[in-house]
Structure 1
Amino acid sequence: MNLYAKLAEREAAGHPIRIGLIGAGKFGTMFLTQVRRTTGMHLVGLADLNVDRARSQLGTAGWDAAQYAARSLGDALKTRATFITDDAASLMACPEIDVIVEATGDPRTGIGFALSAIDHGKHIVMVNVEADALAGPLLARKARAAGVVYSLAWGDQPALICEQVDWARACGFKVISAGKGTRYHPTYHRSNPETVWEILDKYLRIDDRQSINPKMFNSFIDGTKSGIEMTAVCNATGLVPQTNGLGFPPASRFELADVCKPRAEGGALEKAGVTEVVSSVDRQERDIPHHLAMGTFVVFEGESEYARRCFREYHLMPDTSGRYAALYRPTHMIGLELGISVASVALRNEPTGTPIGFHSDVVATAKRDLKAGEMLDGEGGFCVWGKQAPAQDSLDAGYLPLGLAHQVRLKRDIAEGATLRWSDVETDASDLAVRVRREMEAAFGRRNAKAEAS
């Protein structure tokens, strides 16, 4: 609990953490509003393809124009202002920058930037969980080999869940399940950027529809983002997916320990040691009081009668048997909390969650009947949603990763609800993301399990 003290030491020494941020979207802008106020941090450069938008976002985040008036990265280092550019590669090449924050949200782009940051000896905070779900285990391994840190982004739910799992294990508890809340109904898997408003209007009032990206927002609705984020958690903690992926059982925060335990014990889960996402509405699409739509949780076991008695005495939230209990965080603040990751990697050389193996995958699943010749449009689009699957099942069946189901053409008809395979689409073997993904599959497949364990 001494990150701020370490930041203050860096500030006093005139040697702040020097940061390069790629992407001025929602997450990036939330970080922008805090980094300028954080002792011991200096945002040297901000890269975005739309420089005018980046300047506008800085203004929205409360920056004065003088604070981002640097004429170059060198000028930014001298004046402690921020340089805005459309050239992300220049941030990687700047020797003085310590940490790269990748916040583009595009898996192909994110993989390229992560590899470049690693090659240039920089720590990387991977806001881009889509890239992490596609190839994070390999990227993390390459970072370790290069002596730098690859980290999930604190403030986003996967890193927070990883912290809760780590807390439970460090306290000697067996983790039964971990995950988050969301708004889910089985019909939402068919949602697309046009119909998503029918769902959003039921619980959100969005007066300016131009203010959000419906394709991006739809990935939260159709189940994709949940699959991506729980894959990141599995790969960083050693928890595993359930055989059929997420079940999205309805539950309030007070029912977590009863619902998120194995079916053999009266719960909704296939087994212990898995991820799950609970829904804030029931199967009749009625709101559940005291839901956890924005929060995270861990369910753990008291393996002695004394521990279970303590659960009751100290007002935890045990299940009806008293054997299991839940700890939850009611919300998350995404980019407003990202500085924790930046400080942790730079000052402690420690990630706030990082892949340790390839346990989970996100596979492309047809939203509707698809026809040969159609071009897939990726996450949050009209064609596919992302379903969590055990990694080895995905490898054995040759399933198509969701992160590669964008701008690829179908070779055959696919029925609604079917999982797509590599053989169903035309892929470019020379594409960087395809090459990195194939390298990861070769490195982390079952035939390599013995070598990985050693």
Structure 2
Amino acid sequence: MNLHSMLEARAAEGKLLRVALIGAGKFGSMYLSQARRTPGIHLVAVADLDPARAKAALLGVGWPADRLGAQSLDEARRSGGTFLTDDTPAVIASDAVDIVVDATGSPAAGIAHVLACCKHGKHIVMVNVEADALAGPLLAKKAREAGIVYSLAYGDQPALICEMVDWARTAGFEVVAAGKGTKYLPAYHASTPDTVWQHYGLCAEEAQAGGMNAQMFNSFLDGTKSAIEMAAVSNACGLTPAEDGLAFPPCGVDDLARLLKPRADGGLLTHRGQVEVISCLERDGRPVFRDLRWGVYVTFAAGSDYVRRCFKEYGLVTDASGEYSSMYKPFHLIGLELGVSVASIGLRREPTGAATAWRGDVVATAKRALREGELLDGEGGFTVFGKLMPAAASVAGGYLPLGLAHRVRLRSSVAAGQPLRWSDVDVDARSQAVMFRREMEASLS
């Protein structure tokens, strides 16, 4: 609770946290808008495939143009300015940088960036939850062995859920379930970039005018992003998915304790200690009363008559037995909150969430009947969606991780709704991402 005062002290001493951002898209831009207002922070570099886009993002969120003229990393370090470049390896290797923020969204790039940070001794904030879902447990292990901090990104829902889980356990409560809200109907699993905007109440022209990417927004709708984020939570918090993956039950905040408890006690969970995503829509499309579409939650157990009485005395909403209650946060501010991770890493050497073991995985699942020879197009595309399952079941089934289902060709046909297997696709076995993932799978085989 004193990160801000610690940042102010670092600013007064001139010992700024030197940060480099990789990827100046929406999330990165949101962080940039706040980094310039945060004491104790020096944004040394922004690396992007298009440095002109990075400059436009910085100017668009209020950075003064005269702070963006550094011609090298060393000049940026000396002058207090920011260097714009497309040379990410040089940024990670530079002595001018202490903390790297990966906001690329590319699983393969994320793995490469973490391994480079391990080599060069740089802490890393992993906005790139796609890479974390693909290989986070092994990435976090490599980081610990290298003596650096690997962290989920505060502001994104997984890190906020990790915080709530930690709060509950630190207070002595058993965590029964944790997760987030979203907009979900079963039909959304078949959604494609061509159909996505009708579900958001937009036309394609309106979305294009707003700079909205159809495939990215579709990954939120078709269940893929939820699966990815809950894999990260599962692996970081010691919680496990149900065997059938996410159920997306309709649920408002007043019903969390009633529904997000074990089936044996009248709830919906298959077991205690489960990740689950709740929908803001009833199955007939009606809105859920007091939904949690933008927020996160945790349900927990009292464990004693005394605590049940305390729940009642202090007005907590519980189930009928008084045993189960919940806490929730109604909103998340995405990149606007990312500075909490930067400060936590730089000042305390503590992550805001990181995998501790491999418990949850996201497998590529056919949106429709897929034919031999088709090219898969990955997250949010026309061919597959991501389904959450226990990691042990994924490895035992030989299933293809969602993060590697991009620009690979099918060797066999796959029925709609079926998970794909490694044997169904032609992959480049020599690629760094494939070899790294295979190394992680070997630990469970």
* TM-score bracket for this pair, using the shorter chain length: over 0.9
8 Å CA contact retained: 1:317, 1:327:
no
Percent identity between the two aligned chains: 56
Q: Which residue of 2 aligns with 1:135?
A: 135
Structure 1 unaligned blocks of 5 or more: 447-454
Superposed displacement of residue 96, structure 1: 2.5
Superposed displacement of residue 202, structure 1: 7.0
Q: Which residue of 1 aligns with 2:285?
A: 285
Q: Which residue of 2 aligns with 1:352?
A: 352
2: distance between equivalents of 1:126 and 1:145? 17
Q: Which residue of 1 aligns with 2:259?
A: 259
1:303-349 CA-to-partner distances (Å, cap 9, x unmatched) read 01111111122122211221100000000001100011011111111
2:324 is the counterpart of 1:316: no
> What TM-score comes out, normalization by structure 2 length?
0.98
Secondary structure of 2:416's partner? coil
Q: Which residue of 1 aligns with 2:362?
A: 362
2:429 is the counterpart of 1:429: yes
1:387-407 CA-to-partner distances (Å, cap 9, x unmatched) read 000000001000100000001
Q: Which residue of 1 aligns with 2:303?
A: 303
Q: Which residue of 1 aligns with 2:41?
A: 41
Secondary structure of 2:242's partner? coil
2:168 is the counterpart of 1:168: yes
8 Å CA contact retained: 1:118, 1:124:
no
Within 5 Å, give how 1:40-59 maps onto structure 2. 40-59=40-59
Secondary structure of 1:381's partner? coil
Q: Which residue of 1 aligns with 2:440?
A: 440
Q: Which residue of 1 aligns with 2:415?
A: 415
Cα gap change, 1:202 to 1:302, in 2 (>3 Å)? farther
> What TM-score comes out, normalization by structure 1 length?
0.96
Q: Which residue of 1 aligns with 2:81?
A: 81
8 Å CA contact retained: 2:74, 2:96:
no
Within 5 Å, give how 1:199-238 maps onto structure 2. 199-201=199-201, 206=206, 208-209=208-209, 211-238=211-238
Superposed displacement of residue 65, structure 1: 0.5
Runs ≥4 in structure 1, deviation > 6 angstroms? 202-205
Q: Which residue of 2 aligns with 1:195?
A: 195
1: distance between equivalents of 2:177 and 2:115? 32
Compare 61-70 and 148-157 and name the one that shifted more.
61-70
Query: Over aligned residues, Cα RMSD in angstroms?
Result: 1.4
Secondary structure of 1:81's partner? coil
Within 5 Å, give how 1:7-46 maps onto structure 2. 7-46=7-46
Cα gap change, 1:269 to 1:167, in 2 (>3 Å)? same
Cα gap change, 1:204 to 1:325, in 2 (>3 Å)? farther
2: distance between equivalents of 1:89 and 1:293? 38
2: distance between equivalents of 1:352 and 1:297? 17
Secondary structure of 2:19's partner? strand
1: distance between equivalents of 2:203 and 2:3? 38
Q: Which residue of 2 aligns with 1:107?
A: 107
2:124 is the counterpart of 1:124: yes
2:403 is the counterpart of 1:396: no
Cα gap change, 1:203 to 1:175, in 2 (>3 Å)? farther
2: distance between equivalents of 1:76 and 1:422? 45
Q: Which residue of 1 aligns with 2:333?
A: 333
8 Å CA contact retained: 2:398, 2:422:
yes
1: distance between equivalents of 2:375 and 2:233? 30
Amino acid corresponding to residue 161 of structure 1 in structure 2: I
8 Å CA contact retained: 1:107, 1:131:
yes
Superposed displacement of residue 289, structure 1: 2.1
